[in-house]
């Protein structure tokens, strides 16, 4: 507990969790989301700024495994480079990086949900989320969580 938290007293400390929790509705279900501390937000940003290079390499290999088979054949829209494959002007390395970043962001935000069962989401992985929700719903979750934890200036001013 911080010096400031202690100064606010026992009642504040008892209610801190509810103060740091927001709610949103998605598909007729109300979800609770924990507002991250400044340190947690910085850690999340750091993870996105420094993605796991091994994971990117794995995803790149998955994305290009079938394409590599045609390396010796001539195709107008495919260019093989030493460390990348460019398809229709798009880098497969960059596509792999973007996929890893999106999955990382989704996991980070889903970990902010407050479990109703009391279980921890600390060991949550993207495969768990992907098994439960299609990608379109995952994006809706990210939008709702973002709105809940960081309301816009307009939202704050209107209250």
Structural tokens at position 23: 């709610």
Helix (H, G, I), strand (E, B) or coil at 8: coil
Residues in the chain, total: 159
Q: What percent of the chain has pLDDT over 90?
A: 60
**pLDDT digit string, tens, across residues 119-136:** 899 999 999 999 999 999
Distance between CA atoms of residues 31 and 23, nearest Å = 6
pLDDT at 1 over 60: yes
Strand partners for 26: 29
**pLDDT surpasses 80 at 70:** no
Averaged pLDDT, 57-73: 88
Q: Rounded mean pLDDT of the chain?
A: 88
Provide mean pLDDT across the span 6-30: 84
């Amino acid at each position: 507990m911080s010096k400031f938290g202690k100064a606010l007293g026992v009642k504040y400390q008892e209610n801190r969790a509810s103060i740091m929790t927001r709610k949103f509705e998605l598909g007729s279900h109300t979800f609770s989301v924990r507002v991250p501390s400044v340190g947690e937000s910085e850690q999340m940003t750091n993870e996105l700024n420094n993605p796991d290079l091994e994971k990117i390499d794995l995803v790149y290999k998955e994305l290009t495994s079938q394409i590599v088979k045609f390396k010796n054949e001539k195709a107008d829209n495919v260019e093989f480079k030493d460390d990348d494959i460019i398809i229709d002007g798009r880098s497969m390395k960059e596509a792999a990086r973007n996929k890893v970043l999106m999955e990382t962001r989704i996991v980070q935000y889903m970990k902010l949900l407050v479990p109703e069962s009391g279980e921890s989401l600390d060991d949550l992985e993207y495969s768990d989320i992907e098994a439960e929700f299609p990608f379109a719903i995952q994006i809706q979750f990210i939008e709702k969580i973002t709105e809940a934890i960081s309301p816009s200036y307009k939202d704050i001013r209107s209250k």
